[in-house]
Amino acid sequence: MNMSVIDVMKERRSTRAYLDKPVEREILERLLSLATQAPSAINLQPWEFVIVSGEEKKRLSKLLVKRMRERNISCGPGAKKPLSEHFVERQRGLLQCMLPNLPEGTRFDDFINEGSCNFYGAPTAIIITLDKVFSSARLTDIGITLGYLVLAAHVMGLGTCPIGLITAFDDDIREQLNISEEKQVVVGIAVGYRDESSPLNKSRSDRVPVSDVVKWRE
Ligand SMILES: Cc1cc2nc3c(=O)[nH]c(=O)nc-3n(C[C@H](O)[C@H](O)[C@H](O)COP(=O)(O)O)c2cc1C
């Protein structure tokens, strides 16, 4: 529990294999109390969380996997036009780092699509919603609380994986979890104990050098 923030930022990576061990409610409450320390515009704290565990999580995963197969939805970059080569290269980098650790014969896309809809077998799925009264500017605040959550989870010995794919099924999620029409499903997060023995958790994505994404003006 006494890792520095810098250690946590460097160490954390997404978890795509979990132990079959529930995360206790008190632990999830602590996690959420840390995630909600995030800054937000005018301190609006526009985020809302739905915590899905136990049988309800199994039902949700089953529904999402079914819908994904029916509608042939796939994880994509959410881009408005074809991506430039440097973005494509980063995507390729993720594929290359994960591919050697996938079970033999598994297609990368199938693993990501099915895995995402199943929250990679994590015992808990967290759904973050935003009231539709807000403009897309408030998605920034959701991103920050997501960042706090994944870092806090890491310190607490929990693995996480943000899951954007499920937003393709926002109507189904709202219906299944009794979430009001007034809320937008922004992102899901798989939360659970990491299966350290799984090769899937050995993959470590890289980052481009800071100089590739920074311009200095003096
Ligand atoms: C907003 C957002 C949505 C994401 N959606 C998915 C997803 O649907 N499925 C998945 O497997 N990973 C998803 N990820 C995880 C990214 O693939 C991962 O963060 C990225 O490859 C960097 O790897 P790292 O988290 O291990 O550092 C998402 C991450 C973010 C921030």
The CATH number that applies at residue 187 is 3.40.109.10
Nearest CA to ligand 1 atom 28: 162
User: Closest by alpha carbon to 188, among 128, 146, 111?
Assistant: 128
Q: pLDDT tens digits, residue range 169-210?
A: 999 999 999 999 999 999 999 999 999 999 999 999 999 999
Q: Which domain holds residue 66?
A: 5-74+82-202
Note whether 51 and 24 are within 8 A (CB).
Answer: no
Is residue 48, in this structure, part of any structural domain at all?
yes
Asked, for residue 208, whether it belongs to a domain, the answer is no
Q: Identify the DSSP state of 80.
A: S
Residue type, 160: T
Pocket residues: Cβ below 6 A from ligand 1: 13-14, 75, 94, 112, 116, 161-165, 187, 205
Ligand 1 centroid to Cα of residue 211, in Å, is 22
Does 28 reside within a domain? yes
Dist. CA 146–CA 40, nearest whole Å:
12
Q: What is the pLDDT of residues 111-134, one digit of tens each?
A: 999 999 999 999 999 999 999 999
The identity of residue 35, as a single letter, is A
**182 found inside a domain:** yes
Torsion sign over Cα 162, 166, 168, 174? negative
Q: How many domains does the chain have?
A: 1
Residue 215 lies in a domain: no
